[in-house]
Amino acid sequence: MDLYAVFGHPVGHSLSPRIHRLFAEETAQQIEYERREPPLEGFADAIQAFREEGGHGANVTVPFKEQAWSLAEQRSERAERAGAVNTLVCGDILYGDNTDGEGLINDLRNNLGVGLAGKRLLVIGAGGAARGVLGPLLVEQPASLIIANRTADKARVLAKAFDDIGSVDGCGLDALEGERFEVVINATSSGLDGDVPTLPASIVAEGATAYDMFYSAEPTPFLRWAEANGAFRTRDGLGMLVEQAAASFELWRRIRPSTEPVIEALRHDTR
Ligand code: ATR
């Protein structure tokens, strides 16, 4: 059995082992998939030990994605840009990729029927979660992409780092007054603690999709806000989680699992 694992801190609630076991069953792959929770200062040692045990590949989650980026001896272009690695392939060299953006785009396009080309796109938040998906979002050629953040300067700096790929600008949340967007993505960590950033109601255009990169059994505060302010469609990040996992699985096993039954199974679990 080939060994894989997800590294995070905390990692106890990670759905990755369940997702990858379902993928393995569906594609008849013999894999073992574990959770690993190294101490905050012990990520590099834990990866080294994992490789010595014969580990084939790893998913990396908060707070280790940036450390995984540094540790990788070779990186995909999208990981390079993201400044973060969520997938490691352990070969003769340690290869790092970032499948988060692909996961988000595939969930929007394939599962929700929302293409991004020509759309007005808003990303709220300018931390690691936003940075991880900006490159792939811009490659889809939206009409425009605005990054809005509580700390406006962080959004401006982030936009600058990606403005050679497409039309992207950064601003503060208050500068959104009167603006309208067809796709609004929450990439702030506020979804986790139940706080919603203060957003003008105007940002939700008619027919708009609101997407929260975080997921929970209950609608997140951001999605409740979006629904109350006229969003046509709201969706949490469970589909993104499964889609980014499918992209990792394909990197490791050279076979693409179907995601729909897995998303359904997880929704059923959390119901
Ligand atoms: P992550 O890696 O999950 O993105 P991060 O790098 O700490 O985490 O970034 C958190 C993001 O959520 C930031 O954009 C942060 O805004 P600031 O840059 O102004 O700190 C945003 N955020 C967190 N809590 C928030 C809240 N209650 N309201 C608005 N934005 C919030």
CA distance 182 to 114: 10
* pLDDT tens track for 10-33: 999 999 999 999 999 999 999 999
Ligand 1 center to residue 109 CA distance, Å?
26
Neighbours of 267 (CB within 10 A): 14
Q: What is the mean pLDDT of the chain?
A: 96
* pLDDT tens track for 108-126: 999 999 999 999 999 999 9
DSSP string, 183-197: EEEE-STHHHHT---
CATH number of the domain enclosing 254: 3.40.50.10860
Decide if 160 is catalytic. Answer: no
* pLDDT tens track for 176-203: 999 999 999 999 987 656 678 889 999 9
Would you state the structure tokens that stand for residue 90, as one six-digit string? 């352990």
- Same-domain pairing of 48 and 130: no
Cis peptide bond upstream of 38, omega within 30 = no
Q: For ligand 1, is residue 17 a contact (CB within 6 Å)?
A: no
Neighbours of 6 (CB within 10 A): 23
Q: What are the backbone angles phi and psi of residue 212, rounded to the nearest 5°?
A: -105, 120
Kindly report the three-state secondary structure assignment for every residue of 139-152: HCCCCEEEEEECCH
Looking at the structure of the chain, the number of domains it has is: 2
Give the length of the chain.
Answer: 271
CA atoms within 13 A on the CB side of 121: 30
- Same-domain pairing of 81 and 128: no
* pLDDT tens track for 233-268: 999 999 999 999 999 999 999 999 999 999 999 999
- Same-domain pairing of 202 and 250: no
Q: For ligand 1, is residue 190 a contact (CB within 6 Å)?
A: yes
Q: In the prediction, which pLDDT does 193 show?
A: 64
CA distance 203 to 201: 6
- Same-domain pairing of 148 and 187: yes
Q: In the prediction, which pLDDT does 192 show?
A: 59
Q: Which domain holds residue 45?
A: 2-98+239-270
- Same-domain pairing of 260 and 231: no
CA distance 13 to 21: 15
CATH number of the domain enclosing 173: 3.40.50.720
CA distance 66 to 85: 6
- Same-domain pairing of 85 and 110: no
- Same-domain pairing of 137 and 164: yes
Q: In the prediction, which pLDDT does 194 show?
A: 67
Whether residue 271 is predicted with pLDDT greater than 80 in this model: the reply is no
How is the beta sheet containing 74-75 ordered, strand by strand? 31-36, 2-7, 55-60, 87-90, 94-97, 74-75
- Same-domain pairing of 81 and 149: no
Sign of the torsion formed by the C-alpha atoms of 67, 71, 75 and 77: positive
Which ligand 1 atom minimizes the distance to the CA of 189?
12
Q: If we measure between CA atoms, which residue out of 61, 62, 67 comes closest to residue 43?
A: 67
Among 65, 119, 154, 160, the active-site one is: 65
- Same-domain pairing of 53 and 80: yes
Which ligand 1 atom minimizes the distance to the CA of 125?
14
Q: For ligand 1, is residue 129 a contact (CB within 6 Å)?
A: yes
- Same-domain pairing of 243 and 174: no
- Same-domain pairing of 174 and 53: no
Would you state the structure tokens that stand for residue 84, as one six-digit string? 């973060």
- What does DSSP say about strands 2-7 and 168-172: parallel, antiparallel, or unpaired? unpaired
Q: Report the Cα 25 to chain-centroid distance in Å.
A: 24
Average pLDDT of span 206-235: 93
Q: In the prediction, which pLDDT does 219 show?
A: 87
What torsion, rounded to 10 degrees, do the Cα atoms 166, 207, 131, 189 define?
160
- Same-domain pairing of 121 and 210: yes
Q: For ligand 1, is residue 185 a contact (CB within 6 Å)?
A: no
